[in-house]
Copies of this chain bind each other. A is one copy, B any other.
Amino acid sequence: MSKEHLFLRALRGEQVERPPVWLMRQAGRYLPEYMELKRKYDFFTRIRTPELATEITIQPIDIVGPDAAILFSDILVIPEAMGVEVQMIAGKGPYLPKTMQTKEDIDNLRVKDAEFDLQYVYDAIRLTKQELAGRVPLIGFAGAPFTIFCYMVEGEGSKTFSKAKSLCFAEPALAKSLLSKITDVTIAYLLKKIEAGADAIQVFDSWSGLLSPHDFMEFSFPYLQRIHDAIRSKVPVILFPKGSDYALKELNDLNPAAIGLDWTISPKKARQLAPDVTLQGNFDPSKLYMSREEIMRQTTDMIHQFGMQRYVANLGHGMMPTIPVDSVKAFIEAVKSYEEL
């Protein structure tokens, strides 16, 4: 009866007895159980084998006990499905040898039926749902078009993504044609994830914070909006354009189920700018190196500042591999034991 889960109720704005909690990158390297699988299977094997993706997705549910699972996967499955090779370089991150530079590059991308290449993701969702057996809801996710665009043009991670951004500025029509194709494939992909059983969708715009408020409205927002419009009637949607607090008002007016926040905005200010939606975040993961007592104190304080209704406790960014498991447990325990003052 996933419809009654705390997490989904908070996303729908219903009254809850305490806020739900999960952590971005809760499935991953801080867990010794994950590291064991990582030693045995390479990245793409872990992603593409439904049994492995399912096991990794469920590990944190058993070990640290959050209120939602998020499917272990990667945002760069979208360029892959579009026909672009994605490599994963150990210690460096993703590398796309063929970057998108010209109209021809973009014309050659596969759009129609690209989502059918990602059957292993839908299989992983079905298997995970079966294994979860209703314990917690399952979040599916995608990268936002602007973030996927950044990787497809730049070819690798970057502090500034200046090649990607300069394509936006120098050739906006070309950039938008690529953004639009990414959006089309992402929508088809997310619809199939939902069909397979995803109970909610989070869209990660990891790099939108590199844009000015004006450029965000031109190169990120319209594509987030198209995705949101296409799936909002099916499941709750969480939009997380990291670092784009400047657009909170516009995002609020889109009326997604929730908006994800990093820690560079205070809970009070976020509530002022986005009064109509559930807010999710925004604990600084670097604070998970504090003592257990201090983590619990500051987590409680964060909930107090957000207020416990229309709120999902989370980090403001992904977990770091060196964070102690006990600190994650302390964070989750603080949320689960929260009582309104």
Contacts and interface: CB of A to CB of B under 8 A. Distances in A.
A132 B286 CA distance: 46
B170 A263 contact: no
Copies per complex of this chain: 2
B246 A166 contact: no
Interface residues of A, number: 30
A213 interface: yes
Nearest to A284: B212
Nearest to A298: B169
Interface stretch (A22-30, A287-295, A328-336): A287-295
Interface in A256-273: 263-266, 269
Contacts of A246: 264-266, 269
Contact of A290 (B170, B209, B290, B320): B170
Contacts of A214: 266
A150 to B, nearest CB: 12
Interface in A212-261: 212-215, 243, 246
A263 B209 CA distance: 10
A247 to B, nearest CB: 10
A289 B166 contact: yes
Interface string A200-218: 0000000001011111000
B212 A169 contact: no
A285 B284 CA distance: 29
B165 A212 contact: no
Interface in A135-177: 159-160, 162, 165-166, 169-170
A269 B247 CA distance: 12
B243 A289 contact: no
A228 B287 CA distance: 29
Contact of A165 (B169, B264, B284): B284
Residue of A209, A263, A294 with most chain B CB atoms under a 10 A cut-off: A263
Contacts of A209: 264
A305 B246 CA distance: 17
Given A209-B264, A286-B169, A159 B162 contact: no
A70 B190 CA distance: 51
A256 to B, nearest CB: 21
Given A170-B290, A290-B170, A285 B213 contact: no
Nearest to A320: B162
A160 B291 CA distance: 20
Contacts of A169: 284, 286-287, 289-290, 294
15 contacts: A160-B320, A162-B320, A165-B284, A165-B286, A166-B287, A169-B289, A169-B290, A169-B294, A170-B289, A170-B291, A209-B264, A213-B264, A213-B269, A215-B284, A246-B266
Given A162-B320, A165-B284, 7 more contacts: A169-B289, A170-B291, A170-B294, A211-B264, A214-B266, A246-B265, A246-B269
Interface of A: 159-160, 162, 165-166, 169-170, 209, 211-215, 243, 246, 263-266, 269, 284-287, 289-291, 294, 317, 320
